[in-house]
Chains A and B, each alone.
Chain A
Amino acid sequence: MSDISATMDFRRRDARDKLRGRTRYTMDRYLPGMLHAAVLRANVASGRIVRLDTSRAACMPGVRAIITAADAPGKIGIGIADHPLFARDVIRYDGEPLAAIAADTLTQAQAALAAIDVEIAPLPAVLTMAESLAAAAPLVHPDWPNYEVLFEGGAREGNVAWEATVVRGDVDAAFARPDVEIVESNFRVGRQNHVAFEPRAVVATYEDGRFHIETSTQVPWTIRNATARILGVAPSRVRVTVPPVGGAFGLKFDLAIEPFAALLARASGQPVRLVNSREEEMLTCLFRENADIRIRSAVTRAGEIVGREAVVLMDCGAYGGEQIFLTTMTAHTLGGNYRLGTTRLVSRAVYTNTAPNGAFRCCNGVYCTFALERHTDEIAARIGMDPLAFRRHNVLGDGDLGATGQVFEGNVLGPMLDRMDTLREAAAPSRKLADGRLFGRATTVGTWFVFVGPSAATINMNADGTATLVTSGVEIGSGSMMQSLPQIVAGTLGLNPDDVVVRAADTDAAGYDAGVGGGRTTVSLGAASLSAAQEVRTKLLKVASEMIEAAPEDLVMRQGRIEIAGAPGSGHAIAEVATRAQARFGPVSGTGAFTGAGVPAMPGCVAGHFIDAIDIPVFAVHDCDVAVDPETGQVEVLNYRVVQDVGRALNPRAIHGQIQGGVVQGLGYALHEEVTIGTNGRVCQNGFETYRLPLALDVVPVEISLYEGAPSVGPLGTKGAGEVPILNVGATVACAVANATGKRVQELPLTPPRVLELLLARNGELGHPHIAEAWVDNLVRPHGTAAQDRK
């Protein structure tokens, strides 16, 4: 059918202009008559708006439009519509928008913001999950019962925004067995900032009763639908197009600043540009959430995990957003690596008066994997088993059950561990690199998945022999849109990938798409594109068969020609066939659509989940050596190795780039990057001086082995490869540091002060008093009972 091998390792077509500074990202766009916008934000964590008077600001020089809560009636959310565009009467976090202004210049807009008269009466705030879950805690959303529920099934109460549970088997009986050791571990992680280099940026116009939003996003259709909902207009009134995106990592998977610009464009009648300042990005980005985790296992001396229970508290900040959806992930990130006899898990999204959190590369997975792998090492130590042998004995294989009762296909993790053994043994001994410092090594496993979801593609065959691929996919830097998709289309149609034009995302031109993220681009958009290309191929072969007087099944499409198989040089150029087809039947096009069929959970096993089981599991094995300086607490990663399950590697060069970059972002999470909330409720790291990103001097080259051949429903056997590389970096470094120091690592990142505290045993054992001792006491609603009566 298609010959992808002919177009492997296609180079990036977008590199040249990026290297010459010619690429116009959203933040670089200018339109004639364009206004500049700025947003007024609250400076208290919790309060009541007593007065918000914009009349003085409206008279300021250059001001063309001002909008407030009165202009944006709707609320958005995932699961529950709890999030208004502007604070209305109540302020729930420091940084929450209060008003927005468009003016001739940015300086004028900012000056006018300062002229808005605001009076806020402070209210008590809950800044941590422990405070939020306390018995007498003020409610972040007292009027929650009146909100619209967008997805049924989650339990909630007080400041618990959503609760998802898994129960499989009789866990109490497993823990009561006389032949088991019970191992319990507690973990805590802070927030991580995506630091996408292009801040969230938008240019909006309003013409002929429709909004046109050019924006830096991963999810054009989400922006279209959510903007319409906030503005109270029909979704078809909003068109979203997307220029090249300057980094995202999940940050741009949710509605951000688009409705401000849209409303200001309508109010002023002029184009409006709004670009978040770096400080706004640092203070209000949808961080990777902080989390508190307790995990407990019953394990036999022989190394069988007969029971496991866990409580995962995920801080969603002031609004539920993606955290509500992400409660689903715990089942797969905590429960998808190892065979478990029985299990019960609860993950709770908890409201606090802090900036909202959101999706970030391997959302939920990085800290659940950190917790799981550290816990696994603690189990191995308790029963006196080699940690690698324990993993090899317990990793999921063909026919094994995941946490939700999903049946896994194929032996993947076991052979990947073997592959890692080979890599490790072939490497030069690294202990001497530690040079007298404490040396540690660790190998961890991780399970992630492709978030499949719906995608559409159209291919227009041009009479000049090129093909135009029309999708709602966005190039965010991974190369999926600029490399993988053209390879798939070109391989199917016998073209050079350079002859496949990739249309920039436009919701007026292409069908629905769930967004570029979750490792789904090559899989879902790839499958839709493959299907569209196959339709084009069938049509062209039919026309060609008349021209060549040969049956379509005897023809091949290769190197820009349609020829009789086995007779190179016979037949016609594809351009000739396309031209003939256009003249006789009209222009040739094809359409394709794809979505995951969905894998069911075992009946009664899950509650409050958005996805019961995972469509395409993706596995990873990581290994590293570290040196810890006992005097300074400095951790140096000496080397790093990755074996990653990629299904089939369409573009190994691009995948290698994603793995190197993802591991380095993970090293940031493991060693440097930490967002903290001050006692005033404000994020403490407002710039690059206080938020430490990995630099060129911090990194090591990652040794990479791509594992191919695991089952996948992705096109041509592919799986998503860009999301996964960050998954078990925190886990691997943490386990290696624990091995180096002999200390119990329970928190990330492992900054020098934290490592020193660990070495000096300063802080004692981490506990979670706000997590109830008995698992069931952590539930709003007993697992398996009906949805709560929403009073």
Chain B
Amino acid sequence: MVLTLTVNGDHRASVADPVTPLVDVLREEFHLTGAKPVCREGFCGACMVLVNDKPTPSCLMPVALAQGSDIRTVEGLGSGGTLTAIQAALEACDAVQCGMCFPGMVVTLTHLLATSPEATRDEIRAALSGNICRCTGYERIVDATLSALAVK
């Protein structure tokens, strides 16, 4: 059985078992390694992708359920060599340390920027509660989000 997925605007075929987690198909078949399967329980957010514009942990979604949806990974955000507003803000605020959680953070915050232009510090923290970072202590990430919202 061949599954058809729309990933970052491209139609791609997968031969994976339909119950395979989406993150594994993205990584192993399509070599889109931005999404990281860190906890595989939907708690950490490092594998977050946009499914029809909604942040979704790709470790919990069987690939068969992703058929027919518009899937966007961190690799599909921005264009060419440019950074998106949130990526640029995270870079400018020196928010990145080991970086493993950031592809998922960027996906979550991309959604936040699009849907909550008035978000407060506490609302940003709440929006990030599904994305765990072990390195930074979060504050720079919140600062960067506020500055990206201000630019917007």
Residues in chain A within 8 A of chain B (CB atoms): 11-12, 14-16, 18-25, 27-28, 30, 195-199, 244-249, 277-278, 476-479, 653-654, 657, 660-665, 687-689, 693, 695-697, 699, 701-702
Looking at the complex, which one of A16, A196, A247, A476 makes contact with B91 (CB distance below 8 Å)? Answer: A16
Chain A CB within 10 Å, residue with most, of B36, B126, B142: B36
In the complex, whether B10 has a CB less than 8 A from a CB of chain A is no
Q: Considering the complex, give the chain A residue whose CB is closest to the CB of B40.
A: A278
Q: Considering the complex, give the chain B residue whose CB is closest to the CB of A695.
A: B129
A28 contacts across to B, CB distance below 8 A: 27, 33
B54 contacts across to A, CB distance below 8 A: none
* A–B complex contacts, Cβ < 8 Å, 5 sampled: A18-B99, A197-B46, A197-B134, A657-B94, A697-B125
Q: Is the CB of B134 within 8 A of A195?
A: yes
Residues in chain B within 8 A of chain A (CB atoms): 27, 31-41, 43-44, 46, 73-75, 77-78, 83, 87, 90-91, 94-103, 106, 124-126, 128-129, 131-142
Q: Is the CB of B103 within 8 A of A21?
A: yes
Q: Is the CB of A19 within 8 A of B106?
A: yes
Q: Is the CB of B87 within 8 A of A476?
A: no
In the complex, how many angstroms separate the beta carbon of B151 from the nearest chain A beta carbon? 16
- What secondary structure prevails in chain B residues at the interface with A? loop
Q: Is the CB of B98 within 8 A of A21?
A: no
A-B contact count (CB 8 A): 158
Q: Considering the complex, give the chain B residue whose CB is closest to the CB of A244.
A: B99
B99 contacts across to A, CB distance below 8 A: 14-15, 18-19, 23, 244, 246, 477
Q: Considering the complex, give the chain B residue whose CB is closest to the CB of A199.
A: B38
Looking at the complex, which one of A19, A246, A697 makes contact with B90 (CB distance below 8 Å)? Answer: A19
A476 contacts across to B, CB distance below 8 A: 98
Q: Is the CB of A246 within 8 A of B100?
A: yes
Q: Is the CB of A657 within 8 A of B136?
A: yes
A278 with B38, Cβ < 8 A, contacts A197-B44, A478-B97 known? yes
Q: Is the CB of B44 within 8 A of A688?
A: yes
In the complex, how many angstroms separate the beta carbon of A221 from the nearest chain B beta carbon? 21
B91 contacts across to A, CB distance below 8 A: 11-12, 15-16, 19
B136 contacts across to A, CB distance below 8 A: 657, 660-661, 664
Looking at the complex, which one of B36, B101, B137 makes contact with A702 (CB distance below 8 Å)? Answer: B137
* Interchain residue pairs A-B with the least CB separation, the first 5: A21-B34, A477-B98, A18-B99, A664-B137, A246-B100
Q: Is the CB of A247 within 8 A of B100?
A: yes
A24 with B139, Cβ < 8 A, contacts A477-B98, A689-B43, A697-B125 known? no
A693 to B134, CA, bound (A): 8
In the complex, how many angstroms separate the beta carbon of B92 from the nearest chain A beta carbon? 8
Q: Is the CB of B97 within 8 A of A657?
A: yes
Q: Is the CB of A19 within 8 A of B102?
A: yes
Chain A CB within 10 Å, residue with most, of B77, B78, B83, B96: B96
Q: Considering the complex, give the chain A residue whose CB is closest to the CB of B92.
A: A11
Q: Is the CB of A245 within 8 A of B39?
A: no
Q: Is the CB of A699 within 8 A of B90?
A: no
Chain B CB within 10 Å, residue with most, of A21, A247, A248: A21
A701 contacts across to B, CB distance below 8 A: 139
Q: A18-B99, A21-B102, A23-B99 are in contact. List 13 more A-B contacts (CB 8 A).
A: A14-B99, A18-B102, A19-B99, A20-B87, A28-B33, A30-B31, A197-B98, A278-B39, A657-B136, A657-B140, A665-B134, A688-B41, A696-B126
In the complex, how many angstroms separate the beta carbon of B34 from the nearest chain A beta carbon? 2
A18 with B96, Cβ < 8 A, contacts A664-B137, A687-B41 known? yes
A702 contacts across to B, CB distance below 8 A: 137, 139
B100 contacts across to A, CB distance below 8 A: 25, 197-198, 246-247
Q: Is the CB of A20 within 8 A of B98?
A: no
In the complex, how many angstroms separate the beta carbon of A607 from the nearest chain B beta carbon? 37
Q: Considering the complex, give the chain B residue whose CB is closest to the CB of A194.
A: B134
Q: Is the CB of B41 within 8 A of A689?
A: yes
A287 to B35, CA, bound (A): 26
Q: Considering the complex, give the chain A residue whose CB is closest to the CB of B89.
A: A19
A657 to B140, CA, bound (A): 8
Q: Is the CB of A247 within 8 A of B98?
A: yes
Q: Considering the complex, give the chain B residue whose CB is closest to the CB of A29.
A: B33
B134 contacts across to A, CB distance below 8 A: 195-197, 247, 249, 661, 665, 693
A18 contacts across to B, CB distance below 8 A: 96, 99, 102
Q: Is the CB of B94 within 8 A of A12?
A: yes
